[in-house]
Structure 1
């Protein structure tokens, strides 16, 4: 199905839901919890309004993570095969934003890139770079290596260039 048709259907569903009253939204939410979810919901306390129900459920199921846990998640993040440097650094920035690294955030992201980038050539170059290498310089280096590798693979995929000594067929 075409994406624009699906988006229009989603907008129509949203317009329909916006017409529902609070009691109907609350009933739909509670129904969608299933038996176990409803059992848990009943133990959370009274909630007359839909928003109150959402707040109770969010408070129960979305337990806050400690900074230690968030930093472990950040440090365990490795660049996945096929993931671009841009995607990887963007995800690292998102993870780092909740780690309270403060003024060291860019350095930690740079170090993570040096340690867990998928390209061993990039890791080597970053490990050999001076200590004052900024994150933006490291990312620039990564983009250059990524672009060069992509170009090299395209050149290799098209086959050898025609030889001057070989007559055309």
Structure 2
């Protein structure tokens, strides 16, 4: 299906090939450029889509493009060929042993919410090659890595614990803890206020005779 023309649509910014986390930066930029091209250039106009990609990506990235290896000559290359080449350049194959070490040693940090911790574990698991046991290993890492020992004990008591059960229990415990922290100062203040009022209202005994 041909894309509608949107000439006023602003293109994504230049791709930064010097970014610290290049793979993640490239992945986000690739999504943006693909959306931009879908909205501005007809799908059947591959030649224009390729030229637009090379224009938007910027001078520094075009210089990198000149160094990339292709099986096809310039005129025969498609947009997909270009994107695949940059995928390889920006996301080189990682050392699986190192990635697994990062995953298995990642503990929840002080002040880090459960969902933040879970998101990080999911991200770390991406390059570990866990396959079908991925969810069970994330569950195990949560069990070992969470900071709340009482929640850990609760998880250990659950028979046939799944990742879904684990997530539900940890979130519920965190919400409960936040609620208690919110209520306690109010309760203490209310008790102090009530005590003060009672003291003020208590009539003074007259011991004078």
Please report the TM-score for the alignment, with normalisation by the length of structure 1: 0.65
The answer to whether residue 47 in structure 2 is matched with residue 18 in structure 1 is: no
- 1:30 and 1:165 map into 2 onto residues whose CA distance is 70
Q: Does 1:123 align with 2:152?
A: yes
Of 125, 133, 139, 1:104 maps to 133
Q: Displacement of 1:79 after TM fit?
A: 2.4
What's the offset of the Cα at 1:94?
4.5
Q: Which has the larger radius of gyration?
A: 2
Report the more deviating stretch, 143-152 or 53-62.
53-62
Provide the alpha-carbon RMSD of the alignment.
3.6
Structure whose residues are more often helix by fraction: 1
Runs (5+) with no aligned partner, structure 1: 1-10
The 10-residue stretch of structure 1 (102-111 or 15-24) with the greater mean CA deviation from structure 2 = 15-24
SS of the residue corresponding to residue 57 of structure 2 reads: helix
Q: CA deviation at 1:146?
A: 0.8
Q: Deviation string for 1:125-161 (max 9, x for gaps)?
A: 44x5367333333323212321221011101333512
Correspondence for 1:8: none
Which of 165, 171, 182 in structure 2 is aligned with 1:143? 171
Partner residue of 1:60? Answer: 89
The Cα offsets for residues 42-70 of structure 1, whole Å up to 9 and x where unpaired, read as 33245445723333232223212244343
Q: Which runs of 5+ in 2 are unaligned?
A: 1-7, 12-35, 42-46, 201-209
Q: State how many pairs are aligned.
A: 154
Question: Match for residue 67 of structure 2?
Answer: 43
1:167 aligns with 2:190: no
TM-score w.r.t. length of structure 2 = 0.55
- Look up the SS of the partner of 1:153 in the other structure: helix
Deviation at residue 98 of structure 1 after TM alignment: 4.8
Instruction: Work out the CA distance in 2 between the residues paired with 1:165 and 1:69.
Output: 60
